[in-house]
């Protein structure tokens, strides 16, 4: 059991380490994207204000690498980060104009969400962000990019071409990174499943060995049998007592012996009583557990109360 616990702990640690690794790598991906935006705005668009904005974002993303996991993996903070990035994309899309194709950044953000959110646990957050990105895009589409006219950059054809080229590279880069990490995560999940199945098999074998040891203790009338059985499989007696707390110790012993596969005659020999006495105890157990008349007592106990829980 100790080895099993250690194995589970090692697997959990490996999964947690992989989670940190993916988070760090994609944080670096975002930093690279922001650096590229700085280069684009500084050398090609000559828009120095946005260079400062992206430098601030680079500093913030770099800072997250040193924050404790309780902050880094806080779903509210991650959600707000993506929402703010979506708003920034929305704003840049407005001022650059339709032909600049800034809206392609929504694809990059959507791709990145797979590394920061759990699809099963964070469905609401994911759906909210995706719907928000779609709404942002549709607002610009149906208003023909007429919002905030005083802030429009009125980019030249060449400048728009630079942005389109960069955005295309950004989407391709993020997609390739996503494909690589999805493949990596699948390999880890498969290995985790295989290791878990192997561990469960070993634990089951240990249970079977332990059951055989308890069987030997029972047939040899070892006085430590009940205490050993209770220590090894505490849920067995607890499950029975949940149905009826009035079941007494001798009846619990009968249930344990039945679970180990002993027949009525063998139980009588182990408990040093008559077959009739054992049958009477089984009848009382049957009544207390409300076992249906068409169900065998032994089969009910064996199939209902699992020692593997």
pTM of structure: 0.59
Mean pLDDT for the stretch of residues 18-23: 78
- Can you give the residue ranges of every domain in the chain? 2-191, 221-304
CB 307 within 8 A of CB 233: yes
How far is residue 7's CA from residue 192's CA, in Å, rounded to a whole number? Answer: 11
Q: ∠ CA 63-54-71 to the nearest 5 degrees?
A: 25
Region 300-304: mean pLDDT is 83
Contact 155, 101 (CB under 8 A): no
Q: Is the pLDDT of residue 76 over 80?
A: yes
pLDDT higher than 60, residue 97: yes
The CATH T-level fold of domain 221-304 is: Rossmann fold (3.40.50)
Q: 103: which DSSP letter? A: G
pLDDT in the model for residue 134: 97
- What value does the mean pLDDT take over residues 82-110? 91
Does the structure show a pLDDT above 90 at 79? yes
What CA dihedral angle connects 279, 285, 286 and 289, to 10 degrees? Answer: -170
Side-chain-side CA neighbours of residue 272 (13 Å): 4
**pLDDT of 24 above 70:** yes
């Amino acid at each position: 059991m100790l080895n099993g616990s250690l194995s589970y702990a090692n697997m959990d640690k490996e999964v947690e380490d992989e989670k940190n690794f993916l988070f760090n790598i994609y944080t670096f991906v975002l930093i690279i994207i922001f650096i590229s935006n700085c280069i684009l705005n500084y050398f090609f668009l000559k828009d120095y204000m946005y260079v400062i904005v992206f430098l601030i974002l680079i500093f913030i993303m770099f800072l997250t690498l040193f924050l404790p996991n309780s902050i880094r993996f806080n779903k509210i903070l991650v959600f707000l980060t993506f929402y703010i990035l979506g708003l920034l994309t929305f704003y840049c899309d407005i001022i650059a104009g339709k032909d600049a194709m800034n809206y392609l950044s929504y694809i990059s953000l959507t791709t990145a969400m797979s590394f920061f959110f759990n699809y099963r646990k964070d469905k609401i957050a994911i759906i909210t962000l995706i719907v928000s990105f779609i709404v942002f895009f549709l607002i610009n589409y149906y208003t023909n990019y007429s919002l905030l006219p005083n802030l429009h950059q009125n980019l030249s054809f060449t400048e728009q071409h630079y942005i389109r080229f960069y955005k295309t590279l950004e989407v391709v880069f993020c997609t390739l990174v996503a494909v690589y990490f999805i493949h990596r995560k699948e390999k880890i999940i498969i290995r985790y499943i295989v290791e878990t199945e192997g561990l469960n098999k070993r634990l089951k074998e240990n249970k079977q060995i332990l059951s055989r040891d308890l069987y030997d203790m029972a047939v040899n009338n070892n006085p430590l049998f009940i205490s050993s059985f209770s220590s090894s499989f505490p849920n067995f007696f607890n499950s029975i007592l949940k149905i009826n707390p009035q079941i007494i110790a001798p009846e619990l012993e009968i249930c344990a012996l039945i679970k180990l596969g002993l027949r009525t005659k063998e139980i009588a020999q182990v408990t040093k009583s008559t077959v009739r006495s054992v049958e009477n105890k089984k009848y009382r157990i049957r009544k207390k557990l409300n076992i249906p008349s068409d169900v065998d007592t032994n089969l009910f106990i064996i199939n209902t109360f699992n020692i593997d829980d």
